Amino acid sequence: MNGRRTKTSTRRLKSFKEFPTPRVGIGYDIHAFGPGRKFLLGGVTIPHEDGLVGHSDADVLLHAICDALLGAAALGDIGKHFPNTSSKYKGISSLLLLERVGRLLSKRNFRIVNVDATVILERPKILRYSAAMAENISASLRIETEQVSIKATTNEGLGFIGRGEGCAAIAVVSIISSLL
C-alpha cells in the first residue's frame, strides 16, 4: 500500500472504537535464583533457600502478567513503564506495579476478562500457594479471584530452569474495551 487511508480502513477504525473489542496479551519473565533474597511469586513469600534476583522484588509471575496486560492494551511493556534503570523502582513490590498497570488499563477503558499464568520451576512446589497468589492478583487488579488461574510446571530437568538455577512465568490475558 502507498500509506493512504481507504474508505474501508477508515470504517474499520471507527467500528473499533464504537464496539467493545476483545484483546489478548502474552507476557513472559525469567529470573535467576540468588542468595540473600526472599522468593516471591504472586506476592506470596515462599520458603526456599534462595530468592530471585532482579531490580524490583523479581516476582516473575507478576512481571509476566503486567507484560501481558500492557501488551493486550498496546501500551508497551513493563520496562517502558517501570524501567530497571530507575532507582524509584529498586526493590519495589511487584504487587504495586500490577496495581498501577490495572489502573492504567482502567483509565483507558479496558476491563480485564481473565488472567491465565503458568510458573515454570523445578522446586519448590507451589500448588499450596496458588490460591493466595490468585487472591493477591485479583485484589491488585480489582477483579474476581475466579478470573485468575495460576498453574505450575517443571522444565523436566532441562536447561537453566531444569537445573534449579531460576524460575520463569508465562501469562495470557484477555481484556475488553469498555464503551464510554
User: Which residues are paired to 52 by β-bridges?
Assistant: 33
Burial class (CB in 10 A: 0-12, 13-18, 19+), 112: buried
For 102, the domain range is 21-177
Residue 13 in any domain: the answer is: no
Which grid cell sits at 160? 537453566
Confidence at 25, pLDDT banded by 50, 70, 90: very high
Contact of 45 with 132, CB cutoff 8 Å: no
Q: Would you say residue 34 has pLDDT above 80?
A: yes
Residue 6 covered by a domain: no
pTM passes above 0.85: yes
**77 lies in some domain:** yes
Quick check: is 114 in a domain? Answer: yes
Lowest mean pLDDT, pick from 10-14, 104-108, 119-123, 129-133: 10-14
Q: What percent of the chain has pLDDT over 70?
A: 88
The CATH number given to whatever domain includes residue 71 is: 3.30.1330.50
In a domain, 82, yes or no: yes
Q: Is residue 11 part of a domain?
A: no
Residue 159, classed as helix, strand or coil, is helix
Which residue matches cell numbers 520451576? 121
Residue 12 forms part of a structural domain? no
- Coil vs helix vs strand at 134: helix
Residue 179 confidence (pLDDT): 62
Widest CA span of the chain, in angstroms? 61
- Domain count for the chain, please give it: 1
At a CB cut-off of 8 Å and minimum separation 6, what does 37 contact?
50, 51, 52, 53, 58
Query: Residue 10: pLDDT above 70?
Result: no
- Asked if residue 9 is part of any domain, the answer here is no
Residue 174 is predicted with a pLDDT of: 98
